[in-house]
Amino acid sequence: MKLFKAIKNDYLKILPPMIYFFVAFVLILTTKRMILSEYQISWTGFGTAVVGAILAGKVVLMVDKLPFVNQFPDRPLVYNTLWKSLLYFLAALVVSYLNQLVHFLRKHEGLMEANRHLWAEVVWPHFWLLQMWLAVLFLIFCAMRELIRVIGRDKFIRMFFRVRINNSEGGV
């Protein structure tokens, strides 16, 4: 029963970042697809969005377990937002690299050979464009999480998803 609770807890923690990154990656991939269609290049990448969202969600879950993740809880939100964005981004970079390295290890013998082919076959402009977007997405994600941490989940949900009725006296 303890194992089931732990799995359920991790699943509930990973679900919001997975949904956020899935939507974001689908938007990025749709943009790429639309641009490529102008040149009569067909491309599908839905699987990439799914895998990317799962990896990003897992990165968030892993980094959140680090003891030094909440380094600036009593300072202005920008400190923790930037700090956590950096940690998530660096962790995602490592996970992405390792994921690609495993892919190349299947094709080539030895770690050094796989690594050499990985570095040779990377499309660098594409790589840096994705890293740029990932950094922005983590920044937005962390800003929202920090806001939720400070004001509380219930208040956040009320503020964003409940209908507010204004009366003439300025109340809500």
Which of 103, 160, 142 lies closest to 21 in space, CA to CA?
142
pLDDT band at 152; cut points 50, 70, 90: very high
- Gap between the Cα atoms of 145 and 47, Å rounded: 26
pLDDT of residue 169 exceeding 90, the answer is no
Question: Is the separation of the CB atoms in 92 and 100 below 8 Å?
Answer: no
Residue 17: phi, psi to the nearest 5? -65, -35
Whole-model pTM over 0.85: no
Chain-centre distance for alpha carbon 8: 20
pLDDT band at 124; cut points 50, 70, 90: confident
Q: Is the dihedral of CA 122, 128, 130, 134 positive or negative?
A: positive
Query: Which letter does DSSP use for residue 36 in this model?
Result: H
Tokens standing for residue 18: 């997975």
pLDDT band at 46; cut points 50, 70, 90: confident
Greatest distance between any 2 Cα atoms in the chain: 74
What does the pLDDT average to over 121-149? 91
Which residue is it, tokens 């929202």? Answer: 144
Highest mean pLDDT among 50-59, 78-87, 101-110, 125-134: 78-87
